[in-house]
Structure 1
Amino acid sequence: MTTTAHGASGQESDAAARDGWDRNRLRAVLYWATTLVIVVELASGAVWNLVPIDWIAAQLRHLGYPPYVAYILGVWQAAAAAAVIVPGFALVKEWAYVGSFFLWSGAVVSHLVVGGSPDLWGVPLMFGACAIASWVLRPSHRRLPATQLSRHRPSGTAGTGAGSQGSRPRPVLTRRRAWAVSIGLLILAYALSILTLPVVEPATYGRAVELGWIDP
Protein backbone atom coordinates (compact mmCIF):
# COMPACT_ATOMS: atom_id res chain seq x y z
CA MET A 1 0.00 0.00 0.00
CA THR A 2 2.92 2.32 0.78
CA THR A 3 4.42 1.56 -2.64
CA THR A 4 1.13 2.42 -4.30
CA ALA A 5 0.94 5.71 -2.40
CA HIS A 6 4.50 6.61 -3.39
CA GLY A 7 3.70 5.74 -7.03
CA ALA A 8 0.63 7.95 -7.04
CA SER A 9 2.57 10.77 -5.43
CA GLY A 10 5.30 10.44 -8.06
CA GLN A 11 2.77 10.56 -10.86
CA GLU A 12 1.19 13.68 -9.38
CA SER A 13 4.63 15.32 -9.12
CA ASP A 14 5.41 14.45 -12.74
CA ALA A 15 2.04 15.81 -13.87
CA ALA A 16 2.60 19.02 -11.91
CA ALA A 17 6.07 19.40 -13.39
CA ARG A 18 4.73 18.89 -16.93
CA ASP A 19 1.93 21.35 -16.28
CA GLY A 20 4.40 23.95 -14.99
CA TRP A 21 6.67 23.40 -18.00
CA ASP A 22 3.74 23.82 -20.39
CA ARG A 23 2.71 27.05 -18.68
CA ASN A 24 6.25 28.41 -18.85
CA ARG A 25 6.52 27.50 -22.51
CA LEU A 26 3.18 29.17 -23.28
CA ARG A 27 4.27 32.24 -21.34
CA ALA A 28 7.52 32.42 -23.33
CA VAL A 29 5.67 32.05 -26.65
CA LEU A 30 3.20 34.79 -25.74
CA TYR A 31 5.99 37.05 -24.52
CA TRP A 32 7.98 36.78 -27.73
CA ALA A 33 4.88 37.06 -29.91
CA THR A 34 3.75 40.32 -28.27
CA THR A 35 7.31 41.64 -28.04
CA LEU A 36 8.00 41.07 -31.73
CA VAL A 37 4.73 42.80 -32.63
CA ILE A 38 5.65 45.96 -30.73
CA VAL A 39 9.30 45.92 -31.86
CA VAL A 40 8.30 45.63 -35.52
CA GLU A 41 5.75 48.41 -35.07
CA LEU A 42 8.26 50.65 -33.28
CA ALA A 43 10.86 50.03 -36.00
CA SER A 44 8.30 50.70 -38.73
CA GLY A 45 7.12 53.82 -36.94
CA ALA A 46 10.71 55.05 -36.67
CA VAL A 47 11.26 54.57 -40.41
CA TRP A 48 7.91 56.12 -41.37
CA ASN A 49 8.44 59.13 -39.09
CA LEU A 50 12.05 59.80 -40.02
CA VAL A 51 11.46 59.62 -43.79
CA PRO A 52 8.63 60.87 -43.26
CA ILE A 53 5.97 59.36 -45.50
CA ASP A 54 2.90 61.33 -46.58
CA TRP A 55 0.65 59.29 -44.30
CA ILE A 56 2.54 60.49 -41.22
CA ALA A 57 2.60 64.12 -42.32
CA ALA A 58 -1.11 64.11 -43.17
CA GLN A 59 -2.05 62.34 -39.94
CA LEU A 60 -0.10 64.77 -37.76
CA ARG A 61 -1.68 67.68 -39.58
CA HIS A 62 -5.14 66.15 -39.12
CA LEU A 63 -4.55 65.61 -35.40
CA GLY A 64 -3.19 69.12 -34.92
CA TYR A 65 0.46 68.31 -34.24
CA PRO A 66 3.36 70.24 -35.82
CA PRO A 67 5.40 68.41 -38.50
CA TYR A 68 8.58 68.21 -36.42
CA VAL A 69 6.85 65.84 -33.99
CA ALA A 70 7.44 63.10 -36.58
CA TYR A 71 11.22 63.34 -36.11
CA ILE A 72 10.95 63.35 -32.31
CA LEU A 73 8.71 60.28 -32.39
CA GLY A 74 10.96 58.53 -34.91
CA VAL A 75 14.08 58.88 -32.77
CA TRP A 76 12.37 57.69 -29.61
CA GLN A 77 10.66 54.80 -31.39
CA ALA A 78 14.03 53.62 -32.69
CA ALA A 79 15.48 53.82 -29.18
CA ALA A 80 12.49 52.02 -27.66
CA ALA A 81 12.64 49.19 -30.20
CA ALA A 82 16.29 48.56 -29.34
CA ALA A 83 15.72 48.82 -25.58
CA VAL A 84 12.83 46.35 -25.57
CA ILE A 85 14.44 43.64 -27.71
CA VAL A 86 18.04 43.51 -26.46
CA PRO A 87 18.93 41.66 -23.23
CA GLY A 88 19.86 43.55 -20.09
CA PHE A 89 19.21 47.24 -19.35
CA ALA A 90 16.16 46.42 -17.22
CA LEU A 91 15.60 50.03 -16.10
CA VAL A 92 15.80 51.33 -19.68
CA LYS A 93 13.31 48.64 -20.71
CA GLU A 94 10.87 49.98 -18.12
CA TRP A 95 11.18 53.45 -19.63
CA ALA A 96 10.77 52.04 -23.14
CA TYR A 97 7.59 50.19 -22.19
CA VAL A 98 6.15 53.27 -20.47
CA GLY A 99 7.05 55.49 -23.41
CA SER A 100 5.53 53.04 -25.88
CA PHE A 101 2.33 52.90 -23.86
CA PHE A 102 2.16 56.71 -23.77
CA LEU A 103 2.77 56.82 -27.53
CA TRP A 104 -0.05 54.43 -28.41
CA SER A 105 -2.50 55.56 -25.73
CA GLY A 106 -1.84 59.15 -26.85
CA ALA A 107 -2.62 58.14 -30.43
CA VAL A 108 -5.89 56.55 -29.29
CA VAL A 109 -6.93 59.68 -27.38
CA SER A 110 -5.88 61.98 -30.23
CA HIS A 111 -8.01 60.12 -32.76
CA LEU A 112 -10.96 59.99 -30.36
CA VAL A 113 -10.75 63.75 -29.70
CA VAL A 114 -11.00 64.57 -33.42
CA GLY A 115 -13.79 62.03 -33.94
CA GLY A 116 -11.73 59.30 -35.58
CA SER A 117 -13.37 56.01 -36.51
CA PRO A 118 -12.57 52.76 -34.64
CA ASP A 119 -10.26 51.55 -37.41
CA LEU A 120 -8.02 54.57 -36.71
CA TRP A 121 -7.79 54.37 -32.92
CA GLY A 122 -8.22 50.60 -32.75
CA VAL A 123 -4.77 49.93 -34.23
CA PRO A 124 -2.78 51.88 -31.62
CA LEU A 125 -5.05 50.40 -28.96
CA MET A 126 -4.00 46.91 -30.08
CA PHE A 127 -0.31 47.85 -29.97
CA GLY A 128 -0.76 49.35 -26.51
CA ALA A 129 -2.34 46.10 -25.33
CA CYS A 130 0.58 44.14 -26.79
CA ALA A 131 3.01 46.41 -24.94
CA ILE A 132 1.23 45.74 -21.65
CA ALA A 133 1.20 41.98 -22.32
CA SER A 134 4.90 41.97 -23.21
CA TRP A 135 5.73 43.88 -20.03
CA VAL A 136 3.68 41.53 -17.85
CA LEU A 137 5.05 38.36 -19.47
CA ARG A 138 8.73 39.38 -19.61
CA PRO A 139 11.06 36.77 -18.06
CA SER A 140 12.89 37.34 -14.77
CA HIS A 141 16.23 38.24 -16.39
CA ARG A 142 14.50 41.13 -18.21
CA ARG A 143 13.03 42.59 -15.01
CA LEU A 144 14.34 45.09 -12.53
CA PRO A 145 15.86 43.26 -9.53
CA ALA A 146 13.37 44.83 -7.11
CA THR A 147 10.44 43.71 -9.30
CA GLN A 148 11.94 40.27 -9.63
CA LEU A 149 12.48 39.88 -5.90
CA SER A 150 8.98 41.04 -5.03
CA ARG A 151 7.48 38.47 -7.41
CA HIS A 152 9.64 35.45 -6.59
CA ARG A 153 10.91 35.83 -3.03
CA PRO A 154 8.72 35.21 0.04
CA SER A 155 8.44 38.10 2.46
CA GLY A 156 11.07 38.15 5.17
CA THR A 157 13.69 36.16 3.23
CA ALA A 158 17.17 37.50 2.75
CA GLY A 159 19.05 37.98 -0.51
CA THR A 160 20.83 34.62 -0.19
CA GLY A 161 19.93 31.04 -0.85
CA ALA A 162 17.31 29.76 -3.27
CA GLY A 163 15.45 33.05 -3.34
CA SER A 164 18.33 34.78 -5.12
CA GLN A 165 18.80 32.24 -7.90
CA GLY A 166 16.75 34.25 -10.38
CA SER A 167 19.17 37.18 -10.11
CA ARG A 168 22.34 35.19 -10.81
CA PRO A 169 24.27 36.21 -13.94
CA ARG A 170 23.51 34.18 -17.04
CA PRO A 171 26.37 32.21 -18.65
CA VAL A 172 28.53 34.18 -21.08
CA LEU A 173 27.60 31.94 -24.02
CA THR A 174 23.89 32.37 -23.27
CA ARG A 175 24.27 36.16 -23.05
CA ARG A 176 26.14 36.29 -26.35
CA ARG A 177 23.50 34.17 -28.04
CA ALA A 178 20.74 36.37 -26.62
CA TRP A 179 22.49 39.49 -27.94
CA ALA A 180 23.03 37.94 -31.37
CA VAL A 181 19.40 36.84 -31.68
CA SER A 182 18.05 40.18 -30.43
CA ILE A 183 20.21 42.25 -32.79
CA GLY A 184 19.32 39.95 -35.67
CA LEU A 185 15.61 40.37 -34.97
CA LEU A 186 16.01 44.16 -34.74
CA ILE A 187 17.87 44.30 -38.05
CA LEU A 188 15.18 42.10 -39.61
CA ALA A 189 12.46 44.44 -38.33
CA TYR A 190 14.16 47.47 -39.90
CA ALA A 191 14.87 45.61 -43.13
CA LEU A 192 11.20 44.62 -43.33
CA SER A 193 10.11 48.21 -42.69
CA ILE A 194 12.42 49.66 -45.34
CA LEU A 195 11.78 46.99 -47.98
CA THR A 196 8.00 47.35 -47.67
CA LEU A 197 8.04 51.16 -48.03
CA PRO A 198 7.37 51.01 -51.83
CA VAL A 199 4.16 49.12 -51.05
CA VAL A 200 3.22 50.95 -47.86
CA GLU A 201 3.60 54.52 -49.17
CA PRO A 202 1.04 54.36 -52.02
CA ALA A 203 -1.38 52.30 -49.91
CA THR A 204 -1.30 54.73 -46.99
CA TYR A 205 -1.41 57.72 -49.34
CA GLY A 206 -4.61 56.34 -50.86
CA ARG A 207 -6.05 55.81 -47.40
CA ALA A 208 -5.23 59.41 -46.45
CA VAL A 209 -7.01 60.63 -49.59
CA GLU A 210 -10.08 58.54 -48.71
CA LEU A 211 -10.12 60.05 -45.23
CA GLY A 212 -9.87 63.57 -46.65
CA TRP A 213 -6.49 64.24 -45.05
CA ILE A 214 -4.87 64.84 -48.45
CA ASP A 215 -6.45 66.48 -51.49
CA PRO A 216 -6.24 64.08 -54.45
Structure 2
Amino acid sequence: MKKRHKITYWFFTLWLSLGMVSTGIIQIIHLDEEVDKIKELGYPPYFLTIIGIWKLLGVAAVLLPKFPLVKEWAYAGFFFLMTGAIFSHLAIGDKSSTYFGPALLLVLTIVSWYYRPAARKISSYKR
Protein backbone atom coordinates (compact mmCIF):
# COMPACT_ATOMS: atom_id res chain seq x y z
CA MET A 1 0.00 0.00 0.00
CA LYS A 2 1.30 3.40 -0.92
CA LYS A 3 2.15 5.75 1.92
CA ARG A 4 -0.30 8.33 0.52
CA HIS A 5 -3.14 5.78 0.63
CA LYS A 6 -2.27 4.83 4.20
CA ILE A 7 -2.27 8.48 5.29
CA THR A 8 -5.57 9.08 3.47
CA TYR A 9 -7.10 6.02 5.12
CA TRP A 10 -6.07 7.00 8.65
CA PHE A 11 -6.98 10.67 8.20
CA PHE A 12 -10.51 9.89 7.03
CA THR A 13 -10.94 6.95 9.43
CA LEU A 14 -9.94 8.97 12.48
CA TRP A 15 -12.17 11.86 11.40
CA LEU A 16 -15.03 9.40 10.83
CA SER A 17 -14.40 7.81 14.23
CA LEU A 18 -14.39 11.16 15.99
CA GLY A 19 -17.69 12.10 14.33
CA MET A 20 -19.34 8.78 15.12
CA VAL A 21 -18.12 8.71 18.74
CA SER A 22 -19.17 12.29 19.45
CA THR A 23 -22.63 11.92 17.91
CA GLY A 24 -23.02 8.46 19.45
CA ILE A 25 -22.35 9.80 22.95
CA ILE A 26 -24.77 12.68 22.40
CA GLN A 27 -27.41 10.19 21.31
CA ILE A 28 -26.80 7.83 24.24
CA ILE A 29 -27.10 10.62 26.83
CA HIS A 30 -30.30 11.85 25.14
CA LEU A 31 -29.31 15.49 24.76
CA ASP A 32 -32.53 17.54 24.71
CA GLU A 33 -31.96 18.85 21.17
CA GLU A 34 -31.43 15.30 19.89
CA VAL A 35 -34.59 14.04 21.59
CA ASP A 36 -36.59 16.92 20.08
CA LYS A 37 -35.18 16.24 16.60
CA ILE A 38 -35.74 12.48 16.72
CA LYS A 39 -39.36 13.09 17.75
CA GLU A 40 -39.74 15.61 14.92
CA LEU A 41 -38.43 12.96 12.51
CA GLY A 42 -41.11 10.58 13.80
CA TYR A 43 -38.92 8.14 15.72
CA PRO A 44 -39.20 7.22 19.42
CA PRO A 45 -36.51 8.63 21.75
CA TYR A 46 -35.21 5.15 22.67
CA PHE A 47 -34.03 4.89 19.06
CA LEU A 48 -31.25 7.34 20.01
CA THR A 49 -29.78 4.81 22.45
CA ILE A 50 -29.80 2.07 19.81
CA ILE A 51 -28.13 4.27 17.19
CA GLY A 52 -25.58 5.63 19.68
CA ILE A 53 -24.52 2.15 20.79
CA TRP A 54 -24.31 0.97 17.16
CA LYS A 55 -22.01 3.90 16.36
CA LEU A 56 -19.66 3.20 19.28
CA LEU A 57 -19.50 -0.51 18.45
CA GLY A 58 -18.91 0.33 14.78
CA VAL A 59 -16.00 2.61 15.62
CA ALA A 60 -14.44 -0.12 17.76
CA ALA A 61 -14.85 -2.60 14.91
CA VAL A 62 -13.28 -0.27 12.35
CA LEU A 63 -10.32 0.73 14.52
CA LEU A 64 -9.39 -2.61 16.08
CA PRO A 65 -7.14 -4.90 14.05
CA LYS A 66 -8.35 -8.13 12.45
CA PHE A 67 -11.99 -9.19 12.01
CA PRO A 68 -12.42 -7.89 8.42
CA LEU A 69 -15.98 -9.23 8.16
CA VAL A 70 -17.01 -7.27 11.25
CA LYS A 71 -15.39 -4.17 9.72
CA GLU A 72 -17.48 -4.63 6.56
CA TRP A 73 -20.62 -4.82 8.68
CA ALA A 74 -19.58 -1.69 10.57
CA TYR A 75 -19.02 0.27 7.37
CA ALA A 76 -22.35 -0.99 6.02
CA GLY A 77 -24.03 0.07 9.26
CA PHE A 78 -22.51 3.54 9.06
CA PHE A 79 -23.66 3.79 5.44
CA PHE A 80 -27.22 2.75 6.33
CA LEU A 81 -27.36 5.06 9.35
CA MET A 82 -26.20 8.11 7.42
CA THR A 83 -28.33 7.52 4.32
CA GLY A 84 -31.28 6.86 6.64
CA ALA A 85 -30.62 10.14 8.43
CA ILE A 86 -30.42 12.06 5.15
CA PHE A 87 -33.66 10.55 3.84
CA SER A 88 -35.41 11.09 7.17
CA HIS A 89 -34.55 14.79 7.04
CA LEU A 90 -35.68 14.93 3.41
CA ALA A 91 -38.98 13.26 4.30
CA ILE A 92 -39.99 16.03 6.71
CA GLY A 93 -38.63 18.84 4.55
CA ASP A 94 -35.82 19.95 6.87
CA LYS A 95 -33.64 22.84 5.78
CA SER A 96 -30.53 21.95 3.82
CA SER A 97 -28.14 22.70 6.70
CA THR A 98 -29.43 19.62 8.59
CA TYR A 99 -28.02 17.37 5.85
CA PHE A 100 -24.44 18.53 6.34
CA GLY A 101 -23.56 16.29 9.33
CA PRO A 102 -24.96 13.03 7.94
CA ALA A 103 -23.62 13.81 4.45
CA LEU A 104 -20.13 14.50 5.81
CA LEU A 105 -20.14 11.27 7.83
CA LEU A 106 -21.38 9.40 4.76
CA VAL A 107 -18.49 10.73 2.65
CA LEU A 108 -16.00 9.91 5.42
CA THR A 109 -17.42 6.38 5.61
CA ILE A 110 -17.09 5.82 1.87
CA VAL A 111 -13.55 7.23 1.66
CA SER A 112 -12.38 5.29 4.73
CA TRP A 113 -13.87 2.07 3.35
CA TYR A 114 -12.34 2.63 -0.09
CA TYR A 115 -8.80 3.30 1.19
CA ARG A 116 -8.72 0.61 3.89
CA PRO A 117 -5.56 -1.53 3.84
CA ALA A 118 -5.62 -5.06 2.47
CA ALA A 119 -5.28 -6.47 6.00
CA ARG A 120 -8.61 -4.82 6.84
CA LYS A 121 -10.43 -6.28 3.83
CA ILE A 122 -12.13 -9.59 3.42
CA SER A 123 -9.70 -11.58 1.34
CA SER A 124 -11.04 -13.61 -1.52
CA TYR A 125 -9.91 -17.18 -1.63
CA LYS A 126 -9.27 -19.59 -4.49
CA ARG A 127 -10.68 -23.06 -4.50
Partner of 2:87: 109
Code of the aligned partner of 2:74: A
Q: CA deviation at 1:116?
A: 1.2
Q: What TM-score results when the alignment is normalised by the length of structure 1?
A: 0.56
Question: Higher Cα Rg: structure 1 or 2?
Answer: 1
Q: Deviations over 1:136-192 (max 9, x none)?
A: 10001111111xx6xxxxxxxx68xxxxxxxxxxxxxxxxxxxxxxxxxxxxxxxxx
The counterpart of 1:80, out of the listed 54, 58, 66, is 58
2:106 to 118, 124, 128: 128
Q: In structure 2, the residue corresponding to 1:103 is in which secondary structure? A: helix
Residues 120-151 of structure 1: CA deviation (Å, up to 9, x unaligned): 012211110110111110001111111xx6xx
Letter in 1 for 2:40: H
Length-normalised TM-score, structure 2:
0.93
Match of 2:40 among 49, 58, 62: 62
1:41 equivalenced with 2:19 (yes/no): yes
Cα drift, residue 57 of structure 1: 0.3
The alignment of Structure 1 onto Structure 2 pairs a total of residues equal to 127
Structure 1: distance between partners of 2:108 and 2:53: 21
Read off the aligned partner of 2:92 and give its amino acid letter: V
Deviates more, 1:87-96 or 1:34-43: 34-43
Is 1:26 aligned to residue 20 of structure 2? no
Contiguous gaps of at least 5 residues in structure 1: 1-20, 150-157, 160-216
Give the percent of matched residue pairs that are identical in Structure 1 and Structure 2: 35
- The correspondence of residues 47-196 of structure 1 with structure 2, limited to 5 A, is 47-146=25-124
Q: Which runs of no fewer than 5 residues in structure 2 stay unpaired?
A: none
Distance 2:80 2:26 in 1: 19
- Which consecutive segments of 4 or more residues in structure 1 shift more than 4 A? none
**Which of structures 1 and 2 has the larger relative contact order (alpha carbons within 8 angstroms, sep 6+)?**
2
**CA displacement 1:39-63 (0-9 Å, x = unmatched):** 1111112211111111210110111
One-letter amino acid of the counterpart of residue 24, structure 2: A
The aligned runs of 1:204-215 (5 Å cut-off) are none
